[in-house]
């Protein structure tokens, strides 16, 4: 009985995280498309400004590599799963101690 309950809770948790990751992926795709359009618009505006005012030196922020952001997101997701499983185990032990 416990194994069935554990399997069902695992399926529910994995289904929830799958849904969350799918939503994050959709948001990522949407933001990438917006970023591309923004860069194109900024490039056009920059060309117009350079024609009017001449070349200028502007400071740019360093970009964080994509693989580092991905590793951070994966680490947070794994940490969340481990915390969730630890919470389930603690609650199971708490319920078992009352029986």
- Largest distance between two CA atoms of the chain: 80
Q: For the segment 15-51, what is each residue's pLDDT rounded down to a tens digit?
A: 888 888 888 999 899 888 888 888 877 777 776 665 6
CA distance 40 to 18: 33
Q: For the segment 37-92, what is each residue's pLDDT rounded down to a tens digit?
A: 888 777 777 766 656 555 555 556 567 677 888 888 888 888 888 888 888 888 88
- pTM, two decimals, is 0.40
CA distance 5 to 12: 11
Residues 6+ apart with CB under 8 A from 24: 73
Which residue ranges make up each domain of the chain?
Answer: 1-55, 64-99
Residues 6+ apart with CB under 8 A from 17: 77, 80, 81
CA distance 74 to 70: 6
């Amino acid at each position: 009985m416990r194994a069935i309950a554990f399997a069902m809770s695992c399926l529910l948790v994995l289904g929830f995280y799958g849904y969350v990751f799918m939503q994050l992926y959709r948001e990522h795709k949407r933001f990438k498309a917006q970023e591309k359009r923004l860069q194109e618009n900024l490039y056009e505006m920059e060309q117009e400004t350079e024609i009017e005012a001449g070349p200028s030196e502007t400071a740019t922020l360093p970009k964080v590599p994509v693989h580092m952001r991905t590793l951070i997101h994966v680490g947070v997701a794994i940490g969340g799963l481990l915390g969730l499983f630890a919470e389930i185990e603690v609650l199971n032990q708490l319920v078992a101690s009352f029986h």
